[in-house]
């Protein structure tokens, strides 16, 4: 069974920008954003991706991901709940792990999150100096939550 084990963090500073190895744009929407299951359509680097995720327990959830034709992804994204999630993803490779730094746009502009996928929940993790507070267990930081409560609506 495919599992995603992921931890999310806020950033302390912008030192991570000096370590970016590649970046690309992501546009995604949710056909279903229910906490028990999400169904997401993503367009990334001219590829369409359908992702189904189960409910998160600790930092683990079931994840099923399939590449779909780009033209179908473009049609499906029109059916998604609004607003769509738009972001630039930056990749940083450190100590055999890939850190994904997401800079959000649109109604979530100003939010920047770091994510890292692990092999197990108990995996030792050496945090880069630019990593701040862990928000893995706070649902408001889930991409699927950002459509119903965008970052621009949060009290500063």
Q: What is the 3-state secondary structure (H, E, C) of 9-57?
A: EEECCCHHHHHCCEEEEEEEEEEECCCCEEEEEEEECCEEEEEEEECCE
As a whole number of angstroms, the distance between CA 8 and CA 143 comes to: 11
Give the active site residue among 30, 66, 141, 142.
30
List the alpha helices (DSSP H) in 15-146: 70-77
CA–CA–CA angle 91, 95, 96 (5° rounding): 70
What's the N-to-C CA distance of the chain in angstroms?
40
Catalytic, 30? Answer: yes
User: Which residues are catalytic, by number?
Assistant: 30
């Amino acid at each position: 069974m495919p599992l995603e084990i992921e931890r999310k963090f806020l950033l302390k500073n912008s030192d991570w920008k000096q370590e970016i190895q590649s970046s690309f744009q992501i546009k995604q929407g949710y056909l279903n954003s229910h906490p028990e299951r999400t169904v997401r359509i993503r367009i990334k680097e001219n590829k369409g991706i359908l992702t189904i995720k189960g409910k998160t327990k600790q930092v683990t959830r079931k994840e099923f991901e399939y590449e779909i034709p780009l033209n179908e992804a473009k049609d499906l994204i029109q059916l998604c709940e609004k607003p769509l999630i738009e972001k630039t993803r930056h990749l940083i490779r450190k100590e055999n792990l890939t850190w994904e730094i997401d800079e959000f746009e649109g109604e979530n502009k100003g939010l920047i999150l770091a994510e890292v996928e692990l092999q197990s929940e108990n995996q030792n993790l050496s945090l880069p100096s630019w990593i701040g507070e862990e928000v893995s267990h706070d649902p408001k930081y889930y991409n699927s939550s950002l459509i119903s409560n965008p970052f621009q609506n949060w009290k500063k």
